[in-house]
Structure 1
Amino acid sequence: MNLLIANDIGNSETKMFIDGTLIKQPSVVKRLLSKPNVSEPDVHKNINNLLDELFVHVSSKAIKRDGLYFIGKRANITSKVENMNIKLGKKSTHDIPILMTLSMIAGRSVQLEFQKDGKLPKSTSVEVDMTTAIPASEFSTYQAKLLEKRFTEEPHVVIVHVGETTVTVTIEFKTVKVTQEGIPALYSLIENENGILEDYNRIYKKMAQPKDFANKKILHVDIGDGTTEYIYTIGLNPITDACSGAKRGVGHATEEAIQLLKEDTGGFLEVNRQQFMNILRDSTHNLHDLAVQHMEEARFSQAKKILEDVQEKYSDIGGNVDVIAVYGGGSIQFKEELYSDLLDFANNVHCEVLWIPPEYAVDMNVRGLKVINEKILKKRVKG
């Protein structure tokens, strides 16, 4: 089996296009010392729910220690899971991006084999061509090559548990291209539908189309979970020396809010970032109102820091900016605290704000990686 993959390895969520199908998982894992009991014997149900119930054994020289793991959604319903340390960063050297990538590819491969043959194979082999990205605050040619090598140096073996049955998946990466976060989003923007500019055109009384941004000078503000990336592009070219990142984002606001909520519960509450976000989304949770209150306070603090970063970056590049483009999951979380102030700043310095609508904002990078796959990587692989 040959797979073409666009892989956005986020601190909060891992998003992948695997041969055109978008798959998402929380970026969390739980290491196990023994196999859990199997409660569902029906193979069809297990296949349908496989990615939500992902239980694997990963053997790879790219990680520090082989072992049994719950992955993503399956891990997130348990306590004491491992997630990315957003204060330290370093996606290129951390094991979680490798574990998430290998496990999601293996799980999806098993589903595809079952769809093709109507039965589970004992084993299967997968060849992968993949694009992915790391933060600008971490990016260098050395770090990019390091992550590429972790994937490509040796084949990886993932044993996927499907109920009481196992399937051994051998994954070999033929081509891996690592770029810096923010760059793929530009490709996503210019190849997108006109709806992505609805708010922009209304505010500035224009009839712009996405392709019009291919020649603009853009300061990208990609607000993620662990980092906010400030990418400066002229046309389709990143100006590397003017690109940077800072440890700002939803994850940092969430950790501040978790600490406040922990204090309000006498120090007894132990939740990770993903579990705290579940409390925020669940209006029936007994801690929901407190969580909302503390998250509002933490968002205000993070939004102020991001605004100051944008102002400093604008000054550093000499004001040579047509548009400040804001996207990423954090753009949804922080809009109330940041949007108005950013518009005022942009008006004062004679540039514009493109605040990507929420239905597009979260997947800008993974969709841009997919564009890079289709326009660049696929041709390179065939060529």
Structure 2
Amino acid sequence: MNFHFFVGNDNGNSEHDLIIDGRWIAQPNVNCAVDELPWSEEQQPESFVKQLQEQLVVTIDSPAARPGMYYIGQFALESGELLDNLQIGIDLKSDMDLPVVNTLAQIAAVAVQKAYEESNHIAEQIEVEADMATALPVTQHTDETSAKFERRFTSSPHHVTVHLGTRRVAVRITFPFVKAVPEATPVIFTLQKDEDGKWRDGDIFQQFAASYGMDKKFNGSYFKDKRILHVDIGDGSTEYPITEGNKFLRQFVHGSHHGAGYAIEEALDDFNRLIHLPNSPRQFFSDVLKNPHHKYYARAIKTVKRPLESQVKQIVQHVKRQLTKSRNEVDLICVYGGGSILMRSSLYPHLHELCKERELQLLYIPDAYAVQMNAMGLNAFVRGKIYEGLKSKAMQTV
């Protein structure tokens, strides 16, 4: 079977968020290399397909990454095996195998699911051609690193075996064109348009519109010519680019090594001590913090509160630095990213006061959308005319 996919791929330090062929996928951005399959008893391969992302085991054969068998995402996190993850503030994403392996695995998994949905049987071989937009942190994004990251996908085909119990599905993936952009910049597309190309509206803007006495029919057309200071708070970095309309203003490129992950790293030993574990991975702590019903939630919040406040102070200082550099010529500050959820109670008052002082508006993206903003923007970008033009130009020079 043959498929063509559009892929919006946000490889975060903590979470891997992708939109593949219109399907939303969110998984912990971890994997582990293993020597054998985890299943000993015979299971029907069909039973794996629906929840494949939660029990994803693949074998990778690609020049872009170390070949071998891997548990991916949630399955790796729950396996008890030695995890490979992105070391915040240390690893260059363009050099790491992890983003490549996890991206290939997730694309292959969607191909297996789509083939089953269309034919009602497990395919033996699948060919996938993928157009992909992905991102690198502003602090790591240069012409050289972005080209290097793109080549890891485009330079040759990748062979992925997806294991459905003892049944194997061979998926061959090729990328005719990939574009790696600075993180946060795709969000300008998310703010303006929805997945159908219409002006975005709804509860994502509800608090913002109410705060500034906007019309109830408020939609994304408001942002089409606005100058926006983005504050994209991740695990390992925060990006502060300034955009104007659909343009990324290169003179205001700025990012810092601050984020929720640093607070979590600092609090991790105390957290492990309180729950009587010798160690547990950062992603486990992150999962607990996302779940108010988890039995360890109160202890997690207690241990992370002080380190988070330290990160908030640093982020506010970097926001002020960007405002000073731009002479306050910004219409609004837009805050999002996984870290923005944890920091909201502490960060929102600081930024609200700053915006009043400097005559700006504050759009603090609701929790339900905060993590998705980059992936949604990358998905809009890969399907749009700018990507199409870049691809066409690149193909002419080949």
Q: Same fold (TM over 0.5)?
A: yes
3-state SS of paired residue (2:181): strand
Q: Give the AA of the match of 1:236.
A: N
3-state SS of paired residue (1:253): helix
What residue in structure 1 maps to residue 94 of structure 2? 92
Change (3 A) 1:150 1:382: closer
3-state SS of paired residue (1:212): helix
**Structure 1 position 263, deviation (Å):** 4.9
Alignment of 1:300-319 (within 5 A): 300-319=309-328
| Length, aligned pairs only | 381
**2:239 is the alignment partner of 1:238:** no
Alignment of 1:248-287 (within 5 A): 248-264=258-274, 268-281=277-290, 287=296
3-state SS of paired residue (1:174): strand
Q: Give the AA of the match of 1:97.
A: P
Identify the range of structure 1 (88-97 vs 204-213) with the bigger mean alpha-carbon deviation: 204-213
Change (3 A) 1:157 1:255: same
What residue in structure 1 maps to residue 377 of structure 2? 368
**Structure 1 position 163, deviation (Å):** 1.0
**2:302 is the alignment partner of 1:293:** yes
Q: Percent identity?
A: 32
Change (3 A) 1:250 1:320: same
**Structure 1 position 121, deviation (Å):** 2.2
Change (3 A) 1:323 1:27: same
Change (3 A) 1:287 1:360: closer
Identify the range of structure 1 (326-335 vs 193-202) with the bigger mean alpha-carbon deviation: 193-202
What residue in structure 2 maps to residue 3 of structure 1? 5
What residue in structure 2 maps to residue 203 of structure 1? 211
Alignment of 1:11-160 (within 5 A): 11-39=13-41, 41-63=43-65, 65-79=66-80, 80-160=82-162
Distance 2:147 2:15 in 1: 23
Distance 1:30 1:142 in 2: 29
Distance 1:336 1:40 in 2: 50
> What runs of 5+ residues in structure 1 fail to find an aligned partner?
none
**Structure 1 position 209, deviation (Å):** 2.9
**Structure 1 position 148, deviation (Å):** 0.7
Q: Give the AA of the match of 1:258.
A: L
**Structure 1 position 242, deviation (Å):** 0.8
**Structure 1 position 107, deviation (Å):** 1.0
What residue in structure 1 maps to residue 196 of structure 2? none
Q: Is the 8 A contact 1:56 1:159 kept in 2?
A: yes
Q: Is the 8 A contact 2:46 2:122 kept in 1?
A: no
**Structure 1 position 43, deviation (Å):** 2.3
**2:330 is the alignment partner of 1:321:** yes
3-state SS of paired residue (1:120): coil
What residue in structure 1 maps to residue 197 of structure 2? none
Q: 337, 341, 344: which one pairs with 2:346?
A: 337
**Structure 1 position 274, deviation (Å):** 1.3
Distance 2:91 2:246 in 1: 27
**Structure 1 position 31, deviation (Å):** 0.8
Identify the range of structure 1 (87-96 vs 152-161) with the bigger mean alpha-carbon deviation: 87-96
> What runs of 5+ residues in structure 2 fail to find an aligned partner?
194-199, 394-398
Q: Give the AA of the match of 1:74.
A: F
CA RMSD of aligned residues (A): 1.9
